[in-house]
Amino acid sequence: MSDKIDFTGRIALITGASQGIGAAVAKAYAVAGAHVILLARSQKKLEQIDDEIREAGGQATLMPFDLMNLEELEKLGPTIYERFGKLDILVANAGLLGTLGPLAQISVREFKHVMDTNLSANFHLIRTLDPLLRASDAGRAIFVTTSPGVTSGRAYWGTYAVSKAALDTMVKVYAAETAQTNLRVNLLNPGAVRTDMRASAVPGEDPMSLPAPEDIVEVFLELAGESCTHHGQVLSA
């Protein structure tokens, strides 16, 4: 981990923080001094990550929440403001793979579920957190995307490809609209990482041939740092 990164006094929200990349990023931010807000559905898993963070000397607040509750998601910004008075960093990491197969055979219900998770929830996060991020002296927003090979229209990757392509465009629009502010908004493609989602997408792959989530946290640290100059970019870990 870079010795130059110091998040002391920073407040960071990480979605999908109960496992995989989200958990690794949360722990790295906490070790760097940030107070991390852990958002995910599973209270039990969040408590496990919280224990690891506290053992490492960090601080965390648990926020068990289902991102599919879009109406309640609109209250997130005011809730964070009431509790912390600010928000400096957003890592929008939560995502859903969905079924891989012919697009014409995907159910309407599943299409909506994946789109709500990967796109609509992030739209609501932008809406509710924008005032807080703009108010920070160095607001940072990182949205986790996927490889260009998927977002360009990979066959049989169904709603996942559609949702991530839409996410990329939405975040680029948001970045263009915040270019003259202290906010830095970027997309990050983590690449092939040893996660449950990757195992579902490529079941025949040896997971030990892939980097662990902890191996790619450096780029998340850099993009959230006060010295970050990247804006409106799609970067790869």
pLDDT digits (tens, 9 = 90+) for 8-33: 999 999 999 999 999 999 999 999 99
CA distance 166 to 187: 12
Q: Which residue has the tokens 């100059």?
A: 229
d(CA 98, CA 167): 16
- Judged against a pLDDT cut of 70, whether residue 3 lies above it is answered with no
Residues catalogued as catalytic:
160
pLDDT at 2 over 60: no
Name the CA dihedral angle for 124, 225, 46, 85, rounded to a multiple of 10 degrees: -60
Q: What is the pLDDT of residue 5?
A: 86
Q: Which domains are assigned to the chain? A: 11-236 (3.40.50.720)
Q: How, if at all, do strands 89-92 and 140-144 pair?
A: parallel
What is the reported pTM? 0.94
- What's the half-sphere exposure (Cβ side, CA atoms, 13 Å) at 68? 9
pLDDT digits (tens, 9 = 90+) for 146-199: 999 999 999 999 999 999 999 999 999 999 999 999 999 999 999 877 788 787
Most confident of 190-199, 201-210, 224-233: 224-233
Furthest CA-CA distance within the chain? 50
Model pLDDT, residue 156: 96
Residues with Cβ within 8 Å of residue 47, at least 6 apart in sequence: 62
**pLDDT tens sequence across 41-70:** 999 999 999 999 999 999 999 999 999 999
Whether 1 shows a pLDDT value over 60: the answer reads no
Q: How far is CA 7 from the centre of its chain?
A: 18
